[in-house]
Amino acid sequence: MKCLNCGNEFEGQFCPECGQKADTGRFTMRFIFENMVTAILGRDGSIWFTLKNLFARPAGMIVDILSGKRKRYFSPFPMLFLALTLYILITSVTTGFMVQEAFKDGEMVVSQETGENSQQAVEVFHTIKQIVFFFINHYTLCFLLTLPLLVVTARACYGRDNRKRYYWAEYIITIVYAMVIVVLFRCLTRVTYLFDHDLALSLGFVLSPFIIIIAFTACFRKMLGFSIVKTAWRSILAVLLYSAMLLFIAFIGAIVFALVVLNNKGDVSIMIG
């Protein structure tokens, strides 16, 4: 028998060179249907099987994957992209921003306290507001771009022994699976927003940082060989460090933004004057 994929001649059900099935025929609707059902609901390697394990025994699943039991689980990056796609779909359906209401109150306080003369304070407030809105509007983008930072802080906080024991890429794989949990939780808060704004606000703002820590603790515990408390404590440290770095970047961004935009406005008014 000749392999239709790589041309290798062999006997048996699978090509020993490239792994392709021997009975590869033409595509049929039945094949497409079965393929989709297997990818989503199948017993091994499906999305459902992986999600079930991710929530029921995350620590065990991560150790499985790192030690080589991989075929039974859906790959981490496609999994994260699916979760993010779901999140974007849900976000586009749920209209309005969760923080818009919080900012309305803040704006009133600023304009009341500063009076009408202090235009500058209002302008600074607007700058901060725009940056926060940008981060929330482009949450997925900002989050993906800053994910390497979280890998750095997690690796730093999980101890020297584990830094020797695991490659960078192994931390990344675990963090990507943990992020699937986090993104699915955000999907849940978005759906909640449709029914109950206050509940969604409290879920989004109060619980969000905890979800990252819970997901990290659940996924990393067995791999690191720490107790739950120790893993949780180190995870809190990693997230705090990551948040501090994000704040620092946002702070620098705000200064640069203010310098460029406000200076330009100054120039314009001088030119007009």
Q: Which residues bind Zn ion (CB under 5 A)?
A: 3, 5-6, 8, 15, 17-18, 20
Residues ≥6 apart with Cβ < 8 Å to 11: 1
Question: What is the rounded CA–CA span in Å between residue 184 and residue 194?
Answer: 16
Please report, in angstroms and rounded to a whole number, the separation of the first and last CA atoms in the chain: 86
SS percent in the chain: helix, strand, coil, step 5: 75, 0, 20
| CB closer to Zn ion, 18 vs 141 | 18
Q: Which of 162, 157, 151 is nearest to 225 (CA)?
A: 162
| CB closer to Zn ion, 18 vs 228 | 18
Residue 242 C-beta: closest distance to Zn ion, Å: 44
Residue 142 C-beta: closest distance to Zn ion, Å: 43
Residue 31 C-beta: closest distance to Zn ion, Å: 19
Residue 1 C-beta: closest distance to Zn ion, Å: 10
Q: Which of 242, 245, 252, 174 is nearest to 209 (CA)?
A: 242
> At 229, phi and psi to the nearest 5?
-60, -45
Residue 16 C-beta: closest distance to Zn ion, Å: 8
| CB closer to Zn ion, 71 vs 164 | 71
| CB closer to Zn ion, 17 vs 34 | 17
Other Cβ atoms less than 10 A from the Cβ of 10: the count is 15
- The C-alpha R_g of the chain, in whole angstroms, comes to 25
| CB closer to Zn ion, 22 vs 90 | 22
